[in-house]
Amino acid sequence: MRLQASLGVADARHQTEEGQAEYMAWLTADARAALAEEEGAATDRDLRRFLILVIGKLILGTRRDPVSCRCLPLLEDLTRVGSYAWGVALLAHLFDSLGTSSRETGVAGFFPLLHVWAYCHLPSLGRGMPRRAGAVPLLQRWRFCRDEGSLWRQVTLIHDALDTVPFGHVQWTPYVGEDDATQPWVERGRPYFGRDIWLHCFNTVVPLHHQLVAWTLGLHQAVVVFPTQQRSWERPGRSFRGIQQVTDWAVRVREQLDDWERRGKEVVSEATSDEDYFRAYALRYGAQVYKGTRRPLDPEGWISSLEGILHSTIQQ
């Protein structure tokens, strides 16, 4: 509220039948007018408040109300804030939080990113209506359908839809043909695409195994074997998060930082078909993927189904 008051928009309300673009236009104009009247120190303070709000509650938000102050050191020099890889930090934070999210409480971080991902990769869910093809940001390409049903009902429908998405209804290459001219950040990031790489977000360092989604690159997927024991570079458990105050992470994860500077490792595949990958995936993860659902687990049946789909795809 103090931030809104300092920007002169504390009493701003979205008017009935007023478009989002119109609302944002006059809201921005009012805020700029209020900032123009302030002196340097006050404007600087308001900017820092705004960045803390955006970073702490939107980009790196949690499922709780308090805003973490871990980003404060990054705001000491405001001229450098725009040069940090906030998108990568968001991916690391979101990816790290997914493993602790329950089916009821949602996720941490910028969850509209998951909406966009689902609209691009899982079009059969039908949760958004296409509106503007090619619009940037991507979120503007869909019109959201407000659901008046209870939250429990909405979540149940989404669970059922995800459990029954046909294999062929997954769009593996949603960004083929995308134009970089209107998305300069995509062009700058292309050297990192298609690579296994480490994602860094404050005291969290997580691996992004791109070979697990080799289909996005049009490659056959080879069987990936992960180590079962924790290694020295892996991040500590959640009960040890406090050690970032006494740990020099630039030393502890030096190998991962060097890997980031080298732009990771390019993903290639020597597999001649996906059959081995499907079989290994069904045997290893089948019981976990379908645990708690209403469908009984039939590993052999799913393997046969995947083999049939693979054969059909090869024929096509």
Token pair in block for residue 300: 């052999």
Q: How confident is the model at residue 242 (pLDDT cuts 50, 70, 90)?
A: very low
Q: Reply yes or no on whether the pLDDT at 31 is more than 50.
A: yes
Q: Mean pLDDT across the stretch 176-186?
A: 78
pLDDT tens for 196-220 read 999 888 777 888 888 888 887 888 9
How much is the mean pLDDT over the chain?
78
Share of the chain above pLDDT 90, in %: 4
Per-residue pLDDT, 272: 92
Q: Reply yes or no on whether the pLDDT at 174 is more than 50.
A: yes
Q: Whose CA is closest to 174, among 122, 114, 112, 113?
A: 122
One DSSP character per residue, 72-97 reads GGGGSSTTSGGGS-HHHHHHHHHHHH
Per-residue pLDDT, 262: 92
Q: Rounded to an integer, what distance in angstroms lies between the CA atom of residue 110 and that of residue 88?
A: 12
User: Which residues have C-beta within 8 Å of that of residue 137, sequence separation ≥ 6?
Assistant: none
**Residue tagged 């059922």 (tokens):** 160
Q: Reply yes or no on whether the pLDDT at 231 is more than 80.
A: no
Q: What is the pTM of this model?
A: 0.65
Q: How confident is the model at residue 264 (pLDDT cuts 50, 70, 90)?
A: very high
How many Cβ atoms sit within 10 Å of the Cβ of residue 119? 21
pLDDT tens for 130-160 read 888 888 878 888 887 777 778 888 888 888 8
Of residues 260 and 300, more confidence is placed in: 260
Buried b (16+ CB within 10 A) or exposed e, 32-69: eebeeeeeeeeeeebebeebbeebbeebbbeeeeeeee
Q: Reply yes or no on whether the pLDDT at 249 is more than 50.
A: yes
Q: How confident is the model at residue 14 (pLDDT cuts 50, 70, 90)?
A: confident
Q: Mean pLDDT across the stretch 97-103?
A: 61
Per-residue pLDDT, 43: 79
Q: Which of 33-42, 139-148, 192-201, 229-238 has the highest mean pLDDT?
A: 192-201
Q: Mean pLDDT across the stretch 222-243?
A: 56
Per-residue pLDDT, 22: 83
pLDDT tens for 47-93 read 888 888 888 888 888 776 777 777 888 888 888 988 888 888 888 88
Q: Reply yes or no on whether the pLDDT at 291 is more than 80.
A: no
Q: Mean pLDDT across the stretch 112-127?
A: 81
Q: Reply yes or no on whether the pLDDT at 237 is more than 80.
A: no
Gyration radius (Cα) of the chain, Å: 23
Phi, psi dihedrals of residue 131, rounded to the nearest 5°: -125, -55
Of residues 154 and 231, more confidence is placed in: 154
